[in-house]
Structure 1
Amino acid sequence: MMDGLITGENDERVGISVIDNNEFEHVIEMEFDGEIKYWQAEDYPEKESDRTWIEDEHCAQTHKFARYHVYRETDHDPLEGHWNPDRVAATLMALWQLSPDRVVDIFGSFYQQCRSHHEDVTRPLELPRAVDDGQTVIYEQEVYLDADLDTIRGAVDAFGDGVAASSADALTELSTGSLLSDGLDALFDAVQAHAVDAEFDFPTFEIADTSELGVMYYDDRGRSHRHGGGGGPSDEKCDARLELPQVDPGSPEEFRSLLLRHLVCQVRDFYIVMGEDPPPAFRVLGLGKHAPTQGYRTGDLYPDYYDFDADIPGYRA
């Protein structure tokens, strides 16, 4: 497992020593916003072009872990909003407390846009002409909570504690099934039932705003492009970003389950790409963040966490 140590701090930067999963040391100096100004690891080539894909991925894991370690061990916030597992977990808890109809009210454009690929309904966002019929696209929408980071910090731990306290069998209640299965509902219901226990203070969060719907697509050369989006609070980091292809969202109940699973898998992805095992409550198979999913599909370092049929010890669909 990864291991980190804060080695020093001045008015501009934090120093971190990270031992990666190969037991190699990385010495890093990071500015408070997460920009890495110095990196040195004797066991890896200095130039990215000289490293293999796996070597480069281990270095990338280390940089992500270093940012997370600084976030957890200091008062600084070097993480992008939608790459902060606490923010995403808090968004998960906020969405989980909503009814299916309310979820559709808040994410109506996302819901109808996905439906438009499967039903004859008006498309809220017209796709660019460069997008071919049938081409896979990724729809994106940022989410903002009515809570500051101090309140949000520890949301992953809080959710995990809720799962552990609710039932020893809660995790085994996850059923195998399709993307739109309600297999996670048993887990959420168990946590919710325990949340009313006065002895367990389960945090609550509310969704305050969302950005406009956007779409990400690739051109013939494999370059990514974004269209639409924006419109959220410009001076704030978002707390999560939905990133899903044009799946059939089904009924409002199925759409709610789809988004819940998606956010659980996003938290999973954050830990995996920084070289860590996610907490047990987030060891779920399915579609999470788009960039890690591409890495799972193309590289040899990771199992296919996005695949419901993948046989990965400790993970459930």
Structure 2
Amino acid sequence: MALSSDEIEELFGDLLAQSLSHYRDDPNVDTAGVSRPFDLPADKIGTDDAVLYKQELYLDDAGDIEAVSGVLITYYVARGERTTVRHGETPDRDPDACVEVSPAPFVAPEPFRDYLVYNLRCQIRDCYVGMGLEPPETYKVLGPGQYRFTGKYQHFDCYPKYYDKDAAIPGYSHDFVPELPISDAELGGLVDPTSETSLYDQIKGALFSR
């Protein structure tokens, strides 16, 4: 998704704010007083973080985003039983894709956009794995994709834990490298190319501050 900051705010601003609102009381995350667009459902069980946010994408013939749905909130109402509440308007056709986001302290639109792209890459990986196929190289990535596949990876020993960014799976890596709201000079001060720590772990603190 080659989207500008303004386009991200227009298309995914509510999704970003909804996710970030979970960190309003965290002194380490600069939420800039973000408001929660949608209240969490009253029949939700579990902690406030035990929700999954989704937003459906509708593409035009060129493969660009033509429209998006409102925010969907998926949550547990009983042990093993989930439901989904929709907000906003939805085009009258099947979506082409659906991003899935657990609450995360992204404070800027650019890294949030890059996370959504990475989530879709992980989802494509899941589709190949679900068919019993090895995905192409660009989709051999580690991280959360589709929630339903994450559940399978967690509960069935026949699957490696593809959702875990630290999983040791030959040929797979966690290569989420988002655009950061800091300068190249500042970034250079964060990264040690000789470190055994992943690039993501070295820079992730910069994702959560303005």
Report the residue type matching 1:215 in the other structure: I
Shift of 1:221: 2.2
Report the residue type matching 1:301 in the other structure: C
Shift of 1:220: 3.0
- Aligned match of 1:219 in 77, 81, 85? 77
The answer to whether 1:137 aligns with 2:137 is no
**Alignment check: 8 A CA contact 1:100 1:255 kept:** no
**How does the TM-score come out when normalised to structure 2?**
0.74
Shift of 1:101: 3.5
Report the residue type matching 1:138 in the other structure: L
Residue in structure 2 matched with residue 112 of structure 1 by the alignment: 17
The answer to whether 1:103 aligns with 2:8 is yes
- String of CA shifts for 1:46-97, please: whole Å, max 9, x gaps: xxxxxxxxxxxxxxxxxxxxxxxxxxxxxxxxxxxxxxxxxxxxxxxxx1x2
Count of residue pairs brought into register by the alignment: 165
Residue in structure 2 matched with residue 10 of structure 1 by the alignment: none
The answer to whether 1:262 aligns with 2:119 is yes
Three-state SS of the structure 2 residue aligned to 1:314 is coil
Shift of 1:231: 2.3
- String of CA shifts for 1:163-190, please: whole Å, max 9, x gaps: xxxxxxxxxxxxxxxxxxxxxxxxxxxx
Residue in structure 2 matched with residue 312 of structure 1 by the alignment: 169
Judging changes above 3 Å, is the alpha-carbon distance between structure 1 residues 230 and 106 closer, same or farther for their aligned structure 2 residues? closer
Shift of 1:212: 1.1
Runs of 4+ in 1 over 6 A off after TM superposition: none
Q: State the distance in 1 between where 2:38 and 2:111 align.
A: 22
- Aligned match of 1:250 in 104, 107, 113? 107
Shift of 1:135: 3.9
- Aligned match of 1:239 in 75, 81, 96? 96
Shift of 1:293: 0.7
Give unmatched runs, 5+ long, in structure 2.
Answer: 25-32, 175-210
Judging changes above 3 Å, is the alpha-carbon distance between structure 1 residues 298 and 290 closer, same or farther for their aligned structure 2 residues? same
Shift of 1:298: 1.2
The root-mean-square deviation of aligned C-alpha atoms, in Å, is: 1.6
1:171-250 correspondence to structure 2 within 5 Å: 205-229=63-87, 231-234=89-92, 236-250=93-107
Give unmatched runs, 5+ long, in structure 1.
Answer: 1-94, 148-203
Three-state SS of the structure 1 residue aligned to 2:124 is helix
Q: State the distance in 2 between where 1:230 and 1:278 align.
A: 34
1:275-290 correspondence to structure 2 within 5 Å: 275-290=132-147
1:27-106 correspondence to structure 2 within 5 Å: 95=1, 97-106=2-11
Three-state SS of the structure 2 residue aligned to 1:107 is helix
Three-state SS of the structure 1 residue aligned to 2:22 is coil
Q: State the distance in 1 between where 2:4 and 2:88 align.
A: 26
Report the residue type matching 1:212 in the other structure: G
Report the residue type matching 1:208 in the other structure: E
Larger Rg: 1
Q: State the distance in 1 between where 2:151 and 2:64 align.
A: 31
Report the residue type matching 2:89 in the other structure: G
Comparing both structures, which one devotes a greater share of its residues to helix? 1
Three-state SS of the structure 2 residue aligned to 1:143 is strand
**How does the TM-score come out when normalised to structure 1?**
0.50
Judging changes above 3 Å, is the alpha-carbon distance between structure 1 residues 223 and 277 closer, same or farther for their aligned structure 2 residues? same
Report the residue type matching 2:76 in the other structure: Y
